[in-house]
Amino acid sequence: MKHVLRGTGTAIVTPFKADGSVDYDAFRKLVDLQLEGGVEMLVPLGSTGENPTITPQERHEIFRWMVEYVDHRAVVIAGTGTNDTRTSIEYTREAMQLGADAALIVTPYYNKPTPNGLFEHFKAVADVGLPVVMYNVPGRTGLNMNAETTLRCAEIENVYAIKEASADLAQCMEIINHAPQKFNLLSGEDNLTVPLISLGAKGVISVASNVVPREFSRMVRFALAGQFEEAKALHYELLELMKVNFIESNPGPVKAALAMRGLIHEYYRLPLVPVKPESKKRIKEVLEHLDAVIMEEAEA
């Protein structure tokens, strides 16, 4: 799994129709774009996939469809983590039965477990048998899993990676420096991907790659190959897109960008709503500038 859970993973959005149902025609376009763009991992029903408003029946169908449609062309990491260990186990077992390659398990939100509680949570989910990618995202959960706890959890059988979205470079370095050989750190912050790879991270689970999978995955491959001048050039080319994706709560901006590309309709489930007009204007400006740069490079 160390050699599988690396590269670019896209935290793929969940497209909806006007009636609120899942839009599988749009989903197909998005997955095709990712595969053609060279991403190595697809992550359905993470935060970007509006996980909290997906019903159990929809979750089952999304995982089933994703596994069947991807058909081993990329690693499928199913977002099965919740703040209830029993439910996380149930969803993870379901994802394993449906053929997912791994599970993304967020640190439990709202109930704020202790370090021992976090360890027992991840151990219980890992006991299902599906490889686990832990997910530390303090901005959403209200809880930061520190390096000591992460390293303890990294010793658990079937725990192979962490998506680290704390934006704490010191914490990330501590994990990378002391992790067991089987364990990878993946950036959970798009704009820290290249810096973290330079320090030993093995990739990213990205929001921006929804929109520019080819360019983003090239950046990551350059960085993993030690070609940091090339990676740095792409980093700065994509930086404004990385930033604008968080001008409002994710996935609002990235869904707006994908709608501008004609890939999805811009529908959400409450409590999420469309981004404000001024945010949409800025997203459009960033996309237009990026398109011009990409076209100029293609013609050069």
Distance CA 274, CA 285 (A): 17
- Residues annotated as catalytic are 135, 163
The single-letter DSSP state of residue 206 is E
- DSSP secondary structure string, 231-247? HHHHHHHHHHHHHHTTS
> From the CB of residue 165, how many other CB atoms can be counted at a distance below 10 Å?
23
What lies within 8 Å, CB to CB, of 8 at 6+ separation is: 38, 39, 40, 41, 203, 204, 206, 209, 213, 216, 217, 220, 221
If 0-12 CB within 10 Å is exposed, 13-18 middle and 19+ buried, where does residue 292 land? exposed
Tokens 């990378």, residue? 176
